[in-house]
Amino acid sequence: MLKHYSIARFFVVIIIGFSLWGCDLLPETLADALSGASKPMAQDGNSLFHQTDEVSMNTGELEVAGEIKKPGKVNLGNHYKREVMIKESLFDEETGIHFLGAYRYRGYSLFDLLHPFNQDKKNMDIFRPAIDLYVIIENDKGETVSFSWSEIFHTNNPHQILIATEAAPIVPYRREVDYEIGENWKVVSANDLFAYRVLENPVKITVHSFDKKDYVIDRDYEPMYSPEVTVLMDEEYVQTILPDEKKQNYTRYHSSFYGMGMGYHEARYFQGPALLKVMHEDFKPFDPDWNRHGLVCFASVDGYRAIYSYSELFNRTDQVFPIFAVPDNPEDGGFYRIFHPSEFYADRSVKSVMEMYFFREIP
């Protein structure tokens, strides 16, 4: 009898626990413990990233709005936490690198936070792929940072953009350092070489689709070829990129080219000049304002388009940069197509690029 009572009590506890979790009443620390994703690592192990104590930062409420089916508040209790390691610095053209510190951050991935908020593109009837979406994150002071939807959801290495709730300095063992952590939770991006997109005390995430220009969709466009690429920044003409047929200038990337709809596409490799190399001589890849707010729309002659953030193109900690790939037959998809080796999916690899449209979302 006692045995049956113990078993029954065990199942009652389990049922109550899951009921509380489903009703959002489960404490955050207990949710983390049950998920097993946030278990702290001991400081006496091999990891040099885990030799110091975490400091908890003040957290707040977060709202998701814009082009989604059900706007609302984020329930942090439904999510577990992830870790990233970041060497945080800024770059100044005159004084060079200003090093801020090295950190292990723990917090909520944008991937996880936005996953339940199904996107609802306002231009779905015209352009279905979710590759022209981007998000603007705003803090309590009205400051913002911009991310493309695809660098959150379609990359080879997801969960690199966090809203960090804990931080620990990563310290050298032969020198004393004092790296400031701050009081409030903040947006951090481990993909960024320079930390222009750090944003303290975020309160709102807004999802947008590209609507700055109209690119007419023509699925029967022939031939799929663009003889030049026009570059616009803040609606002003900047330059025209002409074909570069000097293969000694090309970078080659091998790829398992995999689309969202049709899966694997056979492709030996992609090669062409680095995107940065074809930009005009006054172009600034580490411009703080453009890295913080900038977005780029690559548009094809047939109206197909994709959005990248300025930072994911030019400010990469992995130093793996996109190219303007040249097809074997430029008359079929050329002269240039954008190719980014950090992509999991092939869908943002716009071919027959006719325009690069740089814009900033600034309040």
Tally of domains within the chain: 2
Which pairing describes strands 82-92 and 96-109: parallel, antiparallel, or unpaired?
antiparallel
pLDDT band at 27 (very low <50, low <70, confident <90, very high): very low
Give the pLDDT confidence score for residue 24 in this predicted structure.
45
Residue 316 lies in a domain: yes
**pLDDT confidence bin for 328, thresholds 50/70/90:** confident
Residues 193 and 304 both lie in one domain:
no
| Mean pLDDT comparison of 15-24, 112-121, 240-249, highest-scoring range | 112-121
Q: How far is CA 156 from the centre of its chain?
A: 11
Is pLDDT of 158 > 70?
Answer: yes
* Type and span of the H or E element at 2: helix 2-22
303 shares a domain with 187: no
The answer to whether residue 39 is domain-embedded is no
From 178, 209, 240, give the residue that closes a domain: 209
Residue 194 and residue 65 share a domain: yes
Same domain, 56 and 132: yes
pLDDT of residue 21: 47
Residue 350 is given by DSSP the state -
Beta bridge mates, 85: 104
Report, as an integer, the average pLDDT of 236-259: 91
Average pLDDT over residues 164-189: 96
The CATH number covering residue 252 comes to: 3.90.420.10
In a domain, 60, yes or no: yes
Q: Is residue 9 part of a domain?
A: no
Q: In the predicted model, is pLDDT for residue 194 greater than 90?
A: yes
Q: Which residue range(s) make up the domain with 91?
A: 48-209
Please identify, among 161, 177, 209, the residue that sits at the C-terminal boundary of a domain: 209
202-209 and 63-66 beta bridge pairing: parallel
- Segment among 212-216, 226-230, 267-271, 346-350 with least mean pLDDT: 267-271
Q: Is residue 356 part of a domain?
A: yes
Residue 31 forms part of a structural domain: no
Looking at the fold, whether 66 and 191 belong to one and the same domain comes out as yes
Q: What is the pLDDT of residue 361?
A: 86
pLDDT at residue 39, rounded to an integer: 66
- Of 209, 240, 270, the residue that ends a domain is 209
Average pLDDT, rounded, for the chain: 90
The answer to whether residue 19 scores a pLDDT higher than 90 is no
Q: CB-based contacts of 250: which residues, under 8 Å, 6+ apart? A: 271, 272, 273, 323, 326
Arithmetic mean of pLDDT, 208-221: 94
Q: Are residues 257 and 180 in the same domain?
A: no
Per-residue pLDDT at 331: 85
Tell me: do 199 and 268 sit in the same domain: no
Asked if residue 275 and residue 156 are part of one domain, the reply reads no
| Judgement on whether residues 63 and 191 belong to the same structural domain of the protein | yes
43: in domain: no
| 35 band by pLDDT with thresholds 50, 70 and 90 | very low
Q: Once rounded to an integer, what is the mean pLDDT over residues 147-163?
A: 98
Residue 44 has pLDDT above 90, yes or no: no
2 lies in some domain: no
Residue 15 has pLDDT above 80, yes or no: no
Q: What is the pTM of this model?
A: 0.88
Which residues make beta-bridge pairs with 104? 85, 168
54 and 198 in a single domain? The answer is: yes
Spell out the SS3 assignment of 282-345.
CCCCCCHHHHHHEEEEEEECCCCEEEEEHHHHHCECCCCCCEEECCCCCCCCECCEEECCCECC
Residue with tokens 């074809």: 278
Residue 36 is predicted with a pLDDT of 42
